[in-house]
Structure formats: C-alpha cells, structure tokens
C-alpha cells in the first residue's frame, strides 16, 4: 500500500515562501506521476503541479507558473513543491497524490490519482 506523507505547510505573509515535501513510504516515485493539489473551503480541488520524472514531464497550473517549482529527489523518494511569492489566494490545504496511469496532459486532474496524503495547511496572510 502506497503511503504519502506531506509536510512543510505553515503560515506566512504575502510574498513569503514555503517548501512542501511529499515522502513515499517504501515506494519509488520515479515511474509515477506525482502531483500537488490544493483545496480551499468552498472551492474545487485544484491541480497545482505534477511531475513524471521518467518522461521528463512537468505541469503547472497557470496560477502558479513562475512562482512554484516541483522537483524530485530520487535518493530520498521525495517530491517537493517550492512555493515563492505566495499570495493569499494560495491559502489552502495542499495534498500530495500519486498515479501510475499515463496521465499526460491530464496530470492536473484529480480523477487520475489513486493515492493521497493527509494534506498540509498553507495559510498566506495579506
């Protein structure tokens, strides 16, 4: 059973930075799509970024392009989301998700993902 563990959330002021981590327990992310999603109260879940290392594929939501960076450390079996220039609109619970499907350009849609972490809260104050 794949287990995902997110960490790194917290509270920051607008313009600040956070780095989220997603660690897989006894699982190799290299052959999977790994994505970050976020959901704020009353809003739909939004795909933020996704990475597929074997295929050299990276996807970002338009709302975070140029501000967020997704990356992977194979040795640590960890996927990161570096979030810079944070805005209040980025406030949400952030979830790590994994899929073994060939998602391609569908990598930012939640329906394609099988495993989810518990979420980590990100709060950005104006």
* Mean pLDDT computed over every residue of the chain: 94
Asked if 70 and 52 touch (Cβ cutoff 8 Å), the reply is no
- Predicted confidence at residue 117, as pLDDT, reads 96
Q: Which positions ≥6 away from 57 have C-beta within 8 Å?
A: 33, 50, 51, 104, 107
State the pLDDT confidence band at 55, using cuts at 50, 70 and 90: confident
**Please, which pLDDT band fits residue 30 given cuts at 50, 70 and 90?**
confident
For the chain, report the end-to-end CA distance as a whole number of angstroms: 40
SS (H, E, C) 77-103: CEEEEEECCCCHHHCEEEEEEEECCCC
Contact 117, 39 (CB under 8 A): no
106: phi then psi, degrees, rounded to nearest 5: -90, 15
Q: Find the mean pLDDT for residues 101-107.
A: 94
Asked if 6 contacts 117 with a C-beta cutoff of 8 angstroms, the reply is yes
Q: Tell how far CA 16 is from the center of its chain.
A: 18
The answer to whether the CB of 34 falls within 8 A of the CB of 51 is yes
């Amino acid at each position: 059973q794949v287990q995902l563990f997110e960490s790194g959330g917290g509270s920051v002021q607008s313009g600040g930075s956070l780095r989220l981590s997603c660690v897989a327990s006894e699982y190799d992310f290299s052959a999977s799509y790994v994505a970050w999603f976020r959901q704020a109260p009353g809003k739909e879940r939004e795909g933020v970024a996704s990475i597929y290392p074997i295929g050299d594929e990276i996807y970002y939501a338009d709302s975070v392009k140029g501000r967020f960076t997704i990356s992977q450390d194979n040795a640590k079996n960890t996927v990161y989301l570096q979030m810079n220039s944070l805005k209040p609109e980025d406030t949400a619970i952030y979830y790590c998700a994994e899929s073994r499907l060939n998602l391609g350009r569908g990598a930012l849609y939640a329906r394609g993902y099988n495993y989810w972490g518990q979420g980590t809260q990100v709060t950005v104050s104006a």
